[in-house]
Structure 1
Amino acid sequence: MASLVTGNPRPVRLADIAKAAGVSHGTASNVFSRPEIVREEVRERVKAMAEAMGYAGPDPKGRLLRAGKVNAIGVATTEPLSYFFDDPFARVMMAGISEACDATGAGIALVSAGNDEKLAWNIQSALVDGFILFCIEGGPRLVELTRERKLPFVALELGVEDDTISTIRIDNAAGARMAARHLAELGHRRYAVLTLPFVDDSSGLVSPDRFGTAIYTATRNRLAGYFDELSRFGVDTAKVPVYETGNDAATTRAGLETIFAMGEPPTAILAMSDRMAMVAIEWLTERGMKVPGDVSIVGFDGVPDGALCDPPLTTVAQPIIEIGRRAARMILDFDGAVRRETLDVELIVRASSGPPPAGS
């Protein structure tokens, strides 16, 4: 087999792989472009032959080198493609990215997939000059796959500390302290926390021994910020129910059901996203509880939808559009340097927060 690699002066082609594996050229092509339609045993045989012969698959980098920059940015996530359209935070972020791309005539390619194999292929085949990574879940895997492309990338809220990666983030702990201080100064002493994921594909009550173990820095730092501030006001944070959600309606509602079945209910909820906070308002209203008369709620993100819900949402606002703009500029103006930026947040007080009920 080695002679196929060392004894042939020309590069190994897909046709060579097909012949050596005993399949048609079309089948070999599908192994790399549409693997889901090829039987597993055939797929593995072709891949093994390709590896033995030194063929890594169709390489879009070669086309990019011949054509120069394609003037497009890939925006990648492990979430389903619908995330870019359904999630209020993602929609605002995309507005900022689009604004920066419009200014230069650059295009945008949305990259996501329902499984790891398709995600790898989509990142490898995307015709882009670099990537913005939405590291909500699966951040390390996104980074690993993107590094293989050897293209510039910037990570938004990367779940691990790595000084070699360009990132744009906010001071999550400071924002969380603002939210907790606001509620504590209103007089609240009974709290519950709805969190972003600690790890991928997980939800449920979080025991105190896990509070510092979240792999995602946003979750870890927001929870630490909440509890640091609440402790200053004499709140026993070990008794505060903490429910890990998937930042979606189903797990948020499950969390509220659990929290309000535990005995003495909270008078204040700290939600790590506006999306969760708005679901909580809806859930409480459906059950005849008043916001903020019975329960105050503070969200996190500052998405436009929060100002329109009933009641309007108190929230810690990120400069979401500016984050999107800066991320896009990092790719469009890439100069080889690693850039790490932390942006400020602000507390926007609206009608979803107020004093606790009398006697609580």
Structure 2
Amino acid sequence: MVQVKLADVAREAGVSHGTASNAFARPGIVREEVRERVFAAAQKLGYAGPDPKGRLLRAGKVNAIGVATAEPLSYFFDDPFARVVMTGIAEACDATGAGISLVSAANQEQLSWNIRSALVDGFIVFCVDGGSRLVELTRERKLPFVALDFGFDDESISVIGIDDLAGARLAAQHLAELGHRRFAVLSMPFSDEPPNGPASYEQAAQAVYSGTRHRIMGYFEELDAYGIDRSSVAIHETDNDVPSVEAALASLFSDAVVPTTVLAMSDKMALIALDWLRDRGISVPDQVSIVGFDGVPEGAVSEPPLTTIAQPMKEMGRRAVQAIRGFDGTLLRETMNVELVLRGSTANPPA
């Protein structure tokens, strides 16, 4: 089948190529009767209109932002943190008429192809597992990009994040002031290697991912101020998913002396812990207190409602869109505030 081109439509309508192009791209400057003649010729020849990709590429902008992760595509829908950030991104894109392109892959080969072929004006990068490779690939595109939840110490890229150390200190301080002295930590991964379960403070403090490392340091710096022996605090590295978190909890609560409080590095972990403890008849907060980290909506309606360190997730998404849309070549390094949100999952330790 012969492909019909715009030049064929112009010839059929008896107008110049430029007039035919304007009839589709800038109809307001073409007289109505001429437009109708062009559209009638297009219909007769079976011409659907100019390829929008070609027009956008010629203009140098595609009016779309790529949101990228090395996780599977389901991450954007399954992870509570990602869902809230995506809401902020979507609201900012709606306000400016920009589109969103989700870019992810289950393996590195797919990820490389997806990043290199994405038709976008810039990237917002969720830096979780595989974050360093993701940054490398987006940098190669030579388009603006901003990293969120960045897990690596790289001062050469734009990042919108939070003060993980300060947030962790707030959580530990709250529990210590309630009188707790038997602590356990459910940790995010230390690196892109599979989690190893129980870990020492020294191992956790050497975590490759800076977010994990800073939260561990914040917890322990605050506990030091209350005279709590570091060796008495159990740390379990998890993969921030149900199997690894439940395995950590099973280990923690099988000991003769169990913790009276759990510091969870994400609300997702904390919510898994609430369900696990409830299923085993362990009362929160009467027997165990739990503090999460993120401030996801599910925490406000859990049973009991979750005390957490809330970060401004939606605002982080909005700011990232603004940074891409208004990119002027300046490196952006923005640290946003967190706050302790007190709810029903924390109380004084049992007598």
TM category, shorter: 0.7 to 0.9
Deviations 1:296-344 (A, max 9, x none): 0000000110000000000000011100000111111111111100001
Please give the residue correspondences for 1:166-205 in structure 2 after superposition, counting only pairs within 5 Å. 166-203=158-195, 204-205=197-198
Deviations 1:83-107 (A, max 9, x none): 1001111110000001110011000
2:69 alignment counterpart: 77
Deviations 1:158-191 (A, max 9, x none): 2222222000010111111100000000000000
CA distance in structure 2 between the aligned counterparts of 1:258 and 1:338, rounded to whole angstroms: 44
CA distance in structure 2 between the aligned counterparts of 1:140 and 1:63, rounded to whole angstroms: 33
CA distance in structure 1 between the aligned counterparts of 2:159 and 2:311, rounded to whole angstroms: 15
Given the alignment of the two structures, is residue 228 of structure 1 paired with residue 212 of structure 2, yes or no? no
Give 2:84's match in structure 1, choosing from 92, 102, 107: 92
Deviations 1:254-278 (A, max 9, x none): 1101111233100000000000001
Query: How many angstroms does 1:240 deviate by?
Result: 0.9
CA distance in structure 1 between the aligned counterparts of 2:169 and 2:203, rounded to whole angstroms: 20
Give 2:135's match in structure 1, choosing from 140, 143, 146: 143
CA distance in structure 2 between the aligned counterparts of 1:63 and 1:132, rounded to whole angstroms: 24
Given the alignment of the two structures, is residue 327 of structure 1 paired with residue 320 of structure 2, yes or no? yes
Unaligned regions of 5+ residues in structure 1, if any?
1-60
- Secondary structure class of the residue paired with 2:205: coil
1:263 alignment counterpart: 256
Contact 1:170 1:344 in 2 (8 A): yes
Over 4 Å off, 4+ runs: 61-65
CA distance in structure 1 between the aligned counterparts of 2:55 and 2:117, rounded to whole angstroms: 11
Give 1:247's match in structure 2, choosing from 222, 240, 250: 240
Amino acid at match of 2:169: R
Deviations 1:187-230 (A, max 9, x none): 00000000111011422111233122111111010110000001
Please give the residue correspondences for 1:1-360 in structure 2 after superposition, counting only pairs within 5 Å. 65-203=57-195, 204-358=197-351
Q: CA RMSD in A?
A: 1.4
Greater shift, 290-299 or 210-219, is seen at: 210-219
Distance 1:63 1:144, change over 3 A: farther
Query: How many angstroms does 1:63 deviate by?
Result: 8.4
CA distance in structure 2 between the aligned counterparts of 1:332 and 1:341, rounded to whole angstroms: 16
Amino acid at match of 1:83: Y
Identity of aligned residues (%): 63
Amino acid at match of 2:157: I
CA distance in structure 1 between the aligned counterparts of 2:101 and 2:69, rounded to whole angstroms: 11
- Secondary structure class of the residue paired with 2:335: strand
Contact 1:134 1:157 in 2 (8 A): yes
Unaligned regions of 5+ residues in structure 2, if any?
1-52
Contact 1:201 1:246 in 2 (8 A): no
Amino acid at match of 1:215: V
Query: How many angstroms does 1:65 deviate by?
Result: 4.7
Distance 1:64 1:238, change over 3 A: farther
State the TM-score, normalized to the length of structure 2: 0.83
Amino acid at match of 2:273: A
Distance 1:63 1:226, change over 3 A: farther
Contact 2:290 2:346 in 1 (8 A): yes
- Secondary structure class of the residue paired with 1:334: coil
State the TM-score, normalized to the length of structure 1: 0.81
Amino acid at match of 1:74: G
Amino acid at match of 1:127: L
CA distance in structure 2 between the aligned counterparts of 1:328 and 1:261, rounded to whole angstroms: 46
CA distance in structure 1 between the aligned counterparts of 2:133 and 2:54, rounded to whole angstroms: 24
CA distance in structure 1 between the aligned counterparts of 2:106 and 2:348, rounded to whole angstroms: 44
- Secondary structure class of the residue paired with 1:211: helix
CA distance in structure 2 between the aligned counterparts of 1:341 and 1:273, rounded to whole angstroms: 21
- Secondary structure class of the residue paired with 2:271: helix
CA distance in structure 2 between the aligned counterparts of 1:95 and 1:77, rounded to whole angstroms: 16
CA distance in structure 1 between the aligned counterparts of 2:75 and 2:292, rounded to whole angstroms: 19
Larger radius of gyration: 2
